[in-house]
Structure 1
Amino acid sequence: MDIALLTLNDFDTLLNTAFTISISDEVQLDAELIEVTKLNNYSPLERNPFSIVFRTDQKNEYYEQGIFTIVHPEKGDLQLFLSPLGFDDMGMKYEAVFS
């Protein structure tokens, strides 16, 4: 997948589905896509900005922001820059922003 061509619609249909976040060859996190949000259009680019949020089942630890491979069983692999958002009652949340 070409990241520059991705839109909010590419993720809307994947809401509440399972992904894997590959932190490294040794660390794979089960994750769920829990939010797909349209952002204000502050960019001169053709694509409308949006963000997506994944939740893992991590309760106490998290990984610093960085580029990780996101794997969906049907859509394949995608390298995204993820930032930790914090914990909620169910686990740790990570966000990717597409501007």
Structure 2
Amino acid sequence: MTSTVDLAALQIDDFTPHQDAEFEMQAADHVVALKLAKVEPAGNSGRPGGAFSLLFAGPKGAWLPQAIYSVRHPALGMMEIFLVPIGPVADGNGYQAIFT
């Protein structure tokens, strides 16, 4: 079993160097390649370093529903992230995660 990263410990600076990098999202029966298209601050919160938003671009085609997905990156490890489809983006289907 693969251990997952503690989401409460992640900060915007953990993701900023990986903008435009590929992440792998585990869907029900296949792996989906996601590109981290944008990393943005999302205001103040009780979270150390503040809230932030991640925008991922997935392949064009059928949308995956909003859900918690296992997302893997070679440097960051495995994360269980709630992703919400937000509409088309330049490179495909957009999915957003907000850390508050």
Aligned partners of 2:11 and 2:48 also within 8 Å: no
Q: Distance in 1 between matches of 2:32 and 2:10?
A: 23
Evaluate the alpha carbon distance shift between residue 7 and residue 87 of structure 1 in structure 2; reply closer, same or farther with a 3 A threshold. Answer: same
> Could you list the runs of 4 or more consecutive aligned residues of structure 1 that deviate by over 6 angstroms after TM superposition?
none
Q: How does 1:1-99 map to 2 (within 5 A)?
A: 1-24=5-28, 26-41=29-44, 43-58=45-60, 60-99=61-100
CA drift at 1:9: 0.2
Q: Distance in 2 between matches of 1:52 and 1:82?
A: 9
Structure 2: gaps spanning 5 or more residues: none
Q: Distance in 1 between matches of 2:52 and 2:90?
A: 24
In the alignment of these two chains, the number of paired residues is 96
Q: Secondary structure at the match of 2:18?
A: coil
Report the TM-score, using the length of structure 2 for normalisation.
Answer: 0.88
Counterpart residue type for residue 40 of structure 1: G
The alignment yields a C-alpha RMSD, in angstroms, of: 1.3
Report the TM-score, using the length of structure 1 for normalisation.
Answer: 0.89
